A = this chain, B = another copy of it.
Amino acid sequence: MGRVVIHATMSLDGYIAGPNDDLNWMSDYVGPNKVADEVIGMAGAIVGGGRFFRLIEKRLEQNLPYGGAVKAPVFVLTHHPRGTIIKTGVTFHFITDGFESAVKQAKAAAGDKNVMLFGASVAQMGLRTGLADEIQLHLAPVLLGGGIQLFGQPGTGHIKLERMQVVESPKVTDLRFRIVR
């Protein structure tokens, strides 16, 4: 049975996007990373929020999740019904009946592989609902000073974690935690 994994590259001050939704900051922190390769190899489906999709939508071929290296289906949580689209072999389903439904459908699609939660809103829903099992972060040595925080918004409550793995990759520090129920 696959797990539900919050997966993000995050600055030391907790941001996954800089001011004005900037994602370009991340390019400095992409490089050889065995942990990321393993995590991506286990990705069987992706759940992303509407904001995540709007950010990547404009140049979808260039901005596919995991650079298009994973052909796993993407379940986009949205309020706007829309037909399934396929870009360079990656299928995007648009889910309008809520996060738990999106995770359920993603789990069915992922089989024994993992469901990856993308973006702050979906990550926080994973924490609030108790559906997230793990957190896999690539911690970038930078302070962005503003933007969108992965965990920042209050409301998820006090959640204990268990450290599972720490790896010093060349450009980031990979941290993996299990969420303790």
Contact = CB atoms under 8 A, between A and B. Distances in A.
Interface residues of A, number: 35
Interface in A117-173: 127, 135, 137, 139, 141-146, 149-152, 154-163, 166, 168, 173
A68 interface: no
Contact of A142 (B139, B154, B160): B160
A152 B149 contact: yes
Which of A19, A25, A141: most chain B Cβ within 10 A?
A141
A55 interface: no
A69 interface: no
Contacts of A162: 141
Contacts of A145: 151, 154-159
Closest 10 CB pairs of A and B: A146-B154, A13-B151, A141-B161, A145-B156, A14-B14, A143-B159, A145-B157, A141-B163, A166-B168, A142-B160
